[in-house]
Every structure is written in C-alpha cells, then in structure tokens.
Amino acid sequence: MKFNTKLLHDVPSVDPLTGAASLPKYQVSTYHQEDIFNKQKYTYTRFGNPTIEALENGIATLENANFGLAFSSGMAAITAALMTLQTGDHVIAPKDIYGGAYQLIHDFLPNYGISSVFLEEMTAEEIGQNLKPNTKMIYIETPSNPLLKITDIREVVSIAKKFQLKTVIDNTFMTPIGQTPLDLGVDMVIHSATKFINGHSDVVAGLVATNDEKIFSALKKRQVTFGSILGPEDAWLVLRGLKTLGIRFERSTENAKKIAEFLATNEAVKKVYYPGLATHEKSTVHFSQAQSGGAVLSFDLGSRQAVADFFKNLTIPISAVSLGGVESILSYPATMSHACMSKQDRLAAGVTDGLVRLSVGIEDIEDLLDDLSNSLHQVEVMNIDE
C-alpha cells in the first residue's frame, strides 16, 4: 500500500464499535471497572486510551514499526528517549541540533550523571574518535535544525551496532513520508508531531516509533511515570491532521525546492541551506536515505539588520517559532529555537545573526516567490542607503 492510502486506511480512522468514519475522541480520565478483581484493558487515561492508542498505532504503521507512543510534546518524547540512559552513561549528539534537545542533554542530563559530547559532523570517523567505554547512545537529527546538515544514517547505524549503542533520530523535518529510519536500522524514531504530522499549528505533540519491544516497554514506563502522555483531544486532532500529511508535505516540498532555487540566485542571500539542492554538500547522501529535500530551508542574510528589514517587509509567512504548518512560517533561530543557547555556543554551532529559517507552506508558489522577492529587494535597497 502506498503512503496516502496508508494514511487513510491503515492509520486507524473507523470506530470499531459503531463504524463511525471519524474515530471517537475518548475524552475521559478514568473508566468504570465492572470487576475490580480482574484486569480490564483501560483503567486510567495516563495508562491508556483508545484515541491515543489509535495515534500510537498510526505512527507505528507509518514508520514501519512494531510499536508507537504518543507524548505531550516533541520534547517529552525526546526526554523519554534520553531518560532510557542510566547514571554513568555517555551520549554522542550533533552540534547542530534542536535547541531544546541541546539544553536537555547539555544542561539537565549531567544532573543525573549522564555525560555527552556534541560533534560538528556525525561521521563514523568523528563518532569513533569520541567513543568512550561508557558511550551508550548516538542521537541524530537529519536534516538538522536549523542548518539542514545531513548525517549518513546507515553509517551511524553501522558504528552503533559495532559498539552496541542505541541510535535515536529526530525525524521531525522529513516525516515518515520523507524518511523511514527504522528501515535503516535505527532504534528509536522521534517526531515533534506539533510540526508536519499534525500540520495545522494547533497542537503540541510528540511521537516515538520503535521495533524493539524492550525499548517500547522502557518508553511506555517513562510515559506513564513522567505523566507525559498526550491528551485525547490532541491525539484526535493529530489523527485528523495526519490524513492529509502526504499531500501537504508533497506540496510544501515542491514549493520549498522552487524557493531554494530562487534564493540561491538572489544577491541579498549569502548562503542557502537546503538538502534538495544539488549544491548541498551532502545532497547525495540525503537522497540515498530520503525521498525529497523536505519543506524546511534556511538562508543567511549576512546581518541582524538585514534580517530585521527582511522580516519587516515580508507579508505572507507568519513570523513565529515552529514549523510544519500549512502556512509558511519564518523563524529567526537566534532569538527563537536557539535562544536557550549562549551566544558563544550558538555562533560556534553556526547559527549566525543573519540566519533565517523558512518552513514552507502550501500557499501558491507565485505568491510566495513575489513576497520573498519584494522583501529581499527591500533588504538590498536598505543596505545601499547605508
């Protein structure tokens, strides 16, 4: 079955009890127990709920996984995955990584005796040089946020298997239609479902998929004990959003490619970061593991002032934290996704004052290109006046 058909017919969507074509929202915290001496399937929503379970089965189906779990946010999913580590363990992660994940690994895990190293490039060579006897996990994002760096998933899996390390990937940018890392041997796939999976900028949610029953049980325990399960209403909304993931992501990706090509030729743009461009240094690696360039790109306008002028003159994209909505979303990583990093760490990670990230929506491409072109023209005019 192909992806769009799977979305509509393999992700649970029909109520098994009544045949209703929209899965009911079991907006409930607790369940009447007919017989308190014998176990029943549902007892309390933090332990399990049919609407949440439908979404969990859905992400498992889409990621070709045996198990799925839904969390109250992408960060809650990341936290559960990282908290499978024990005191004394060491984790290897990339320098270019979502700011919240960086903060968790860098600022919080040391409180529990878990150490880390952040690498420029997640190559087998760099990983090999930074392996310690207590290294237990390799955490990656590909494409990464916000520099769209590409990591060779097969290479990471290969070194991880050699040293019996667990691999975790944040697959938020590609979604399961763009990349299915479990097929390449990764142990845990994480999504901020707040982004493309839900797609409508109206829910905060996280998902994890895995094939390993032991990992699933460990994550389930953390989901229940940390209390980080997604609410039924949000699970229902994500299930609803998920139905159109295929067409939304395809359209956004087509738009993103055209925008990246346009930006690459514009004088006001110093550099474009988009793995769908043949000029991206790891475009070949990316297309060996992904289906498209994705719908997020970043570009450098050279200075904070140029960024200010650009934001001021743009009319279509909303200017906001987040990505993956049906509307285009323009972000400024320095004060948004990466604000939690010190300036020194941020600059060292390549997140400059001129860097802008664009999550491309499903608007008409002509309108997006006109808007970008007008605003970039203003950036040039302002720079000449100076």
Ligand X SMILES: Cc1ncc(COP(=O)(O)O)c(C=O)c1O
Binding site for ligand X (CB under 6 A): 73-75, 98, 100, 141, 145, 170, 172, 192, 194, 204, 206, 322, 337
Find residue 358's DSSP bridge partners.
Answer: 297, 330
Strand order in the sheet with 188-192: 67-71, 206-210, 188-192, 166-170, 135-141, 90-94, 115-119
Smaller CB distance to ligand X: residue 303 or 319?
A: 319
Q: Report the nearest approach of ligand X to the CB of residue 309 (Å).
A: 25
Nearest 5°: CA angle at 312, between 310 and 314? 65
Looking at beta carbons only, is 67 or 98 nearer to ligand X?
98
Least distance CB 385 / ligand X (angstroms): 35
**Active-site residue flag, 353:** no
Catalytic residue among 170, 187, 300, 309: 170
> Which among 25, 89, 96, 98 is annotated as catalytic?
98
Within the chain, residue ranges assigned H as helices are 3-9, 50-62, 74-82, 99-103, 124-130, 153-162, 175-178, 213-226, 232-242, 245-264, 283-289, 304-313, 343-348, 365-385
Q: Listing from the earlier edge strand, what are the strands of the sheet with 329-331?
A: 271-273, 296-300, 355-359, 329-331, 318-319
Residue 57 · residue 51 · CB < 8 Å: no
What would the two tokens of residue 53 be?
């379970």
Closer by beta carbon to ligand X, 230 or else 379: 230
Q: Is 170 a catalytic residue?
A: yes
Catalytic position from the list 6, 15, 46, 258: 46
b/e 229-244 (16+ beta carbons within 10 angstroms → b): bbbbebbbbbbbbbbb
d(CA 207, CA 229): 10
Tell the smallest beta-carbon distance from residue 77 to ligand X (Å): 8
For residues 359 and 172, the answer to whether their CB atoms sit within 8 Å is no
Q: Does the annotation count 42 as an active-site position? A: no
Q: How far is the CB of 170 from ligand X (least distance, A)?
A: 5
- Nearer to ligand X (CB atom), residue 119 or residue 306: 119
Q: State yes or no: is 15 an active-site residue.
A: no
Q: Residue of minimal CB distance from ligand X? A: 74
Among candidate residues 136, 166, 195, 251, the one labeled active-site is 195
User: What is the per-residue DSSP string for 131-194?
Assistant: --TTEEEEEEESS-TTT-----HHHHHHHHHHTT-EEEEE-TTTHHHH--GGGGT-SEEEEETT
Shortest separation between residue 130's beta carbon and ligand X, angstroms:
22
Judged by beta carbon, residue 58 or residue 206, the one nearer ligand X is 206
Smallest distance from the beta carbon of 78 to ligand X, in angstroms? 6
Nearer to ligand X, 173 or 310 (CB): 173
- Point out the residues that are catalytic: 46, 98, 170, 195
